[in-house]
Amino acid sequence: MDYQSDFEKWKERIEARPLAEVKLPNQPIDEVTASAETLAIEAIKDKDEFTKAGMDITIIEDIPSLSGAVRYCQAEWMSEYLARQDAQKEWLEKSPFAYQQHDELLHNFKFAYRNDPDILTKVMRINNGNGHVDMVQDLIELAVLGEKNPKPLREIGYKTTGLKDIKTLSHNMAELLASSNGSTNDSSKVKLLRDKAFTLLSERVSIIREYGRYLFWKDNSRREKYYNNYKG
């Protein structure tokens, strides 16, 4: 069974986990899942002892598929996280050009429409703001304004055919900015699923370890198999 199938098997139970009960991983997920899978291999050898002690053996049997679900959620979260990192890098590379075009538009528009109070007022209104979102919006609004009032721009030698490119630039930068901002760690639904899946796995691992230490308290070699090698 692949990790996505594992996730589909656990999806409803993962999503249903109350937010108040969610635990955050304090070790790398690959270490956590590998440890859980190794624990399950050891515990299944002692399934008769666990059953006699009153533990539901399905807790052990759950581990492989639940661990796979955790791995799947982690991969999805890392894909989202890395995509945002790439977008942020691309924004840093491309935004200086967008800001340059923004400033040149304003410079040309203020001069071209200097004798038209109504249009100049619109230009100044568009320029009333700051920040990335405002810059992206200014580009599209200025381009539309210029297309509707091309004559003064042409009179000062401004090539209005380039306004189409400005509209495309605004659209592209808006998409890039959205990807760059993305979901923060605290708001990402994908990360929350990962944390919920980890919580389910962590709980089962803790139960197995607890029973194992109880059962093999006089058998040092077996008892060691049930001690935590991470804080889960």
Q: What is the structure's pLDDT at 179?
A: 84
pLDDT at 141: 96
Q: What's the 3-state SS for 137-193?
A: HHHHHHHHHHHHCHHHHHHCCCCHHHHHHHHHHHHHHHHHHHHHHCCCCCCCHHHHH
From CA 39, how far away is CA 203, in angstroms rounded?
13
Is pTM beyond 0.85? Reply is no
Per-residue pLDDT tens, the chain, 232 aa: give them.
689 999 999 999 999 999 999 999 989 999 999 999 999 999 999 999 999 999 999 999 999 999 999 999 999 999 988 988 899 999 999 999 999 999 999 999 999 999 999 999 999 999 988 899 999 999 999 999 999 999 999 999 999 999 999 999 999 999 999 888 765 556 689 999 999 999 999 999 999 999 999 999 988 888 888 887 544 3
Q: How far apart are CA 203 and CA 114, in angstroms?
A: 70
How many CB atoms are closer than 10 A to CB 125? 10
